[in-house]
Structure 1
Amino acid sequence: MSFNKLSLLCTLPLLALGANIKRATPDEFGLYGYGDGFGGFPLFYADGYAYLGEPASSNSSDPAVVTFSPSGSGTSQSWIGNPNTTLTNYTVSWSDVTFAVPSNSASDKRIQFLTSNDTDSDMTTTGFYFYGHTAFVIEDGQLESPWYALQVSERVHALYWNDTSLGQVPVILRNIAPSNPGSVPGISTEE
């Protein structure tokens, strides 16, 4: 065996380990809610707010599962949402909305989507981060993930930030779809 082949073989374990140490935010991704009673519900937009579940079951005129694209990097990273056109068979009236969580001083703890015209100082639009495949917000140098969901109708759950006052339950947001997407509301595997 030549020295070059031996060198390459010796570095493969280090390359494999290094690949797992740092993970960049994907270029495009969806978010899915997991937890007790949540087996990977997709995150969707409805009337400017974030929900988990089945968009067709909401009372909104233009709900759709969201596909995110990162903008910026590090603690300045924001997530820009657009309708996932492969999962929506109708036209929606929104695009290029910014994912936003309420600040500690906000009275409304619902997670929202802001347009370029919105200026709400009670909303945080940067600091979004993935640790592995789990979504976090960087606040004061700490990774925070107090995502909570409240059922508002059958198969529709409003998404909240750090609020259990109405009986919200904790959820984990991940950028990995469930392994059997045909069993998740809002995702069809039929063509």
Structure 2
Amino acid sequence: MKKLILSLSLLLAGLAVQAQEVRELDEINEDNSWLKLGINLGAPVGDVGNYSSFALGLDVAAQFMRTDNFGLGIATGYTKYFEKSDAPAFDGLNDGFGAIPLGLMFRYYPQPSGIFVGTDVGYTFLTDVNSADGGAYIRPQVGYHNYNWNIFGYYNQVFRADPAIDVQSIGVAVTYNIRFK
């Protein structure tokens, strides 16, 4: 898994280094920056899959297109992991638990409309868990985009020092781009 994450990171960095016009932050406008709002639906896997049947969340991100093909920004949101009806007792959880990520987002768009790849990296805070210290997270994505919408599949993993809750999920998400004025 670490080799996959390293390979994806190197791929994104290599693609971003292409000779392109680089925009500065003071050049933010409605053509190169937007707020992304959306929803995600995930299937918990790993240890948390024994406890949670599905995850439903809200995604919020602010993105700046540093070049015509490379975007970066800040990502956050909230995902609720719903408890299975026959779930065993799991770290004092009662009606599921929540995850609040706070991270950097990186996206590569080969064309103005079509396939894209990206990842979010940062820290996830866990809620409604006795040992809610959270952990570092990564969320690689592959999807389709156009001027207004992004539809993508993702894998999400929270790396915790205490592996009592191995928080992993795979899912799909859709986000809508709200242009900055």
TM-score, normalised relative to structure 1: 0.29
TM-score, normalised relative to structure 2: 0.31
Higher CA-based Rg: 1
Whichever structure has more strand as a proportion of its residues is: 2
